[in-house]
Amino acid sequence: MIYHGGNIYAASRRTGIPPEEIIDFSASINPLGMPEGALRLIKGDTRRLTHYPEPYAEGLSARIAARLGVGPESVICGNGSTELVYLVPRALRPSKVLITAPTFGEYERACRNAGTADVVSLPLESKQDFDVPPGAFIEAMAGGPARTKACNTAFLCNPNNPTGRLVEKAGVLEIAAAARSMGCYLVVDEAFIDFCPAGSVAAETAHNPFLVVLRSMTKFYALSGLRIGYGVFHPDTAARVMAYKEPWTVNTIAQAAGAAVLEDAAFEKASLATMAREKAYVEAGLAAIGIPFIPSHANYYLLKVGRSVEIAAAMEKRGILVRACSSFAGLDGSHLRVAVRSRQENERLLREMADVCAHL
């Protein structure tokens, strides 16, 4: 089992603190919450729940495609982007997969479940802020310096989880071009790209059958409980993946809410402005209390604290969840990941972190 942040229910059972009183910095969700239009829809439009949803969320797929400038046949919606993380290896059947370390743990699990025996890791350097060098990534895809068997699938989380580091668009396209030339599928997970939208390569899938882009609507639009995400593919690749796709995995309310948030430009603008302001506040606060952090392009930070498990446990007792990162390959017990939330919550995080670190 892979452990993730965001489990306020388990934390409530451990501490006796009601879930609604827990402040969750372990899951990186937009502090503004879901857009008002989606919230009104969820509260008011329940009549359609007696009917099946569209089997493959065809209407939502078409709206996403129009927004991205690709054909509707190129978009596959899922029960969160994690469904697509598992669907893609099941459909593509990779024999050798490249994954960076550290990164999201479900990539390897999905590939192992699909029967991939050969999963290789590209270790990222702490002294380089765990950045992904495009040249090193391409070399690893090709089999490494020894030119052993080349990979036929590679996963790139961008911005990376848990580091928040972004490979600039030109670098991703360089990797994608190399992947195409060697017949390797490049799966770019853009779950947090809405916080740095200029970095997306989703529209480029139309020109590259070996490029796959996964997107989440649960982070930026705070729809985590509804579970909604999608993949963008070249039409030929999409047809291959759709052959393995189960119907009805995206419920009626999730489809409607997903369509509603796509139209809310004001929410997007407000979210980016809020995040820029709060990130500056959190960075200044972390520096003031002497906690090193990696500069992030996303809505979370990787902290170097030492004794992360003990700190996370002490914070939990105070009703605040942070993510100890020792379960990430490539990280040890000295890293924490914290989300960026509202000003009041960020103030409390910094205050409690300073106190806990001073007394451990």
Q: Are 118 and 96 in contact (CB under 8 A)?
A: yes
The tens digit of pLDDT for each residue in 218-276 reads 999 999 999 999 999 999 999 999 999 999 999 999 999 999 999 899 999 999 999 99
Q: One-letter amino acid identity for 259?
A: A
Give CA–CA dist 275/272, Å, rounded.
5
Nearest to 158 by CA among 111, 212, 209, 113: 212
Q: One-letter amino acid identity for 47?
A: R
The tens digit of pLDDT for each residue in 99-121 reads 999 999 999 999 999 999 899 99
The tens digit of pLDDT for each residue in 60-89 reads 999 999 999 999 999 999 999 999 999 999
Q: Are 75 and 232 in contact (CB under 8 A)?
A: yes
pLDDT at position 84:
98
Residue 336: pLDDT band (50, 70, 90) is: very high
The tens digit of pLDDT for each residue in 132-190 reads 999 999 999 999 877 789 999 999 999 999 999 999 999 999 999 999 999 999 999 99
Question: Tokens 């205050």 identify what position?
Answer: 351
pLDDT exceeds 80 at position 45 = no
Give CA–CA dist 131/335, Å, rounded.
16
Crossing angle between the packed helical segments 36-44 and 252-262, to the nearest 10 degrees: 150
pLDDT exceeds 70 at position 304 = yes
Q: Are 320 and 22 in contact (CB under 8 A)?
A: yes
User: In Å, what is the CA distance from 111 to each residue of 74, 281, 344?
Assistant: 22, 39, 41
User: In Å, what is the CA distance from 313 to each residue of 16, 325, 360?
Assistant: 14, 13, 11
Q: Is 190 helix (H, G, I), strand (E, B) or coil?
A: coil
Phi-psi region of 69 (alpha: psi -120 to 50; beta: other; left: phi over 0): left
pLDDT at position 101:
97
pLDDT at position 171:
98
CA angle at 210 for the pair 209 and 211, rounded to the nearest 5°: 95
The total of other beta-carbon atoms located within 10 Å of residue 115's CB is 11
pTM score, whole prediction = 0.96
Give CA–CA dist 235/162, Å, rounded.
31
pLDDT at position 1:
57
pLDDT at position 3:
64
pLDDT at position 5:
75
Rounded to the nearest integer, the mean pLDDT of the chain is 95
Residue 98: pLDDT band (50, 70, 90) is: very high
Give CA–CA dist 258/228, Å, rounded.
7
pLDDT at position 157:
98
Q: Are 156 and 188 in contact (CB under 8 A)?
A: yes
Q: Are 35 and 56 in contact (CB under 8 A)?
A: no
CA 320 to chain centre: 21
pLDDT at position 360:
79
List the domains of the chain with CATH numbers.
8-35+265-359 (3.90.1150.10), 37-262 (3.40.640.10)
What average pLDDT does range 6-28 have in this prediction?
92
Residue 359: pLDDT band (50, 70, 90) is: confident
CA angle at 164 for the pair 329 and 4, rounded to the nearest 5°: 50
User: In Å, what is the CA distance from 26 to each residue of 5, 23, 304, 341?
Assistant: 5, 9, 15, 11
User: In Å, what is the CA distance from 145 to each residue of 137, 139, 150?
Assistant: 11, 7, 11
Residue 2: pLDDT band (50, 70, 90) is: low
Q: What are phi and psi of 334, to 5 degrees?
A: -110, 10
pLDDT at position 141:
97
